[in-house]
Structure 1
Amino acid sequence: MSLDDLSDAVDAAYADLGDDYAVSLDRETRTELALLQAGLGPEDADDLLKRAVHLLFQSTVETGRLDAHLRREYDVTYDEYLSGMTYEQMTGTPQPPENDGRRYQF
């Protein structure tokens, strides 16, 4: 797959979300959500869902997990997606060797 495939997949997933997003919650998730809502005091549970998505996104970007998944599925990184160009398109040279070109080290 490619950068264009990733862009198409993101656009399709965004369109599928629509305006209303309903999710069924298991008992554990419902309890955790209730505790967070009681402790953090947001207006409604939707605010907590938004925060949760932001935190999950941030942590997967910072740890390199998003890049790992994107590289495996689409052969691009998050930075390449943001710029709209692959590394090769940006520099005119092929991707550096795996260890030299890695953004994250575990």
Structure 2
Amino acid sequence: MLRGLLLLLEAYLKHSYSVKASRNGENMILVTYDLISPGQKYQRLIEAITSMGESCHCLESTWLLKTSLTAEQVATRLRQQIDGNDKLLVTAFNPHNSNGWLSQEAWNWIYGYVNR
């Protein structure tokens, strides 16, 4: 799974694009990362993520973010918080076409976006 995410990240970085606002200028963005370097800067990265909008820490290194920013803008801001060998994937998240095993709290957060 991690290898697949890294391949997506490489494709994203090669073909970066902006995601248009999905509704009322608000986007739901998925952020996932692997901090590789010794002395990883988790707190700095988490503070950057949570400063950009309403956020949900749904998996160990994965966040969902409701923001007026595009995926490209979020990625640009977060790249300033990580080292060159760390991994980062930022992409639009479609809550209408998602499935998985998350905590009830995470699903409630996602459904709250859908039902706005």
TM bracket (short chain): under 0.3
TM-score, with structure 2 as normaliser: 0.22
Bigger Rg over Cα: 1
Give the TM-score normalised by the residue count of structure 1: 0.23
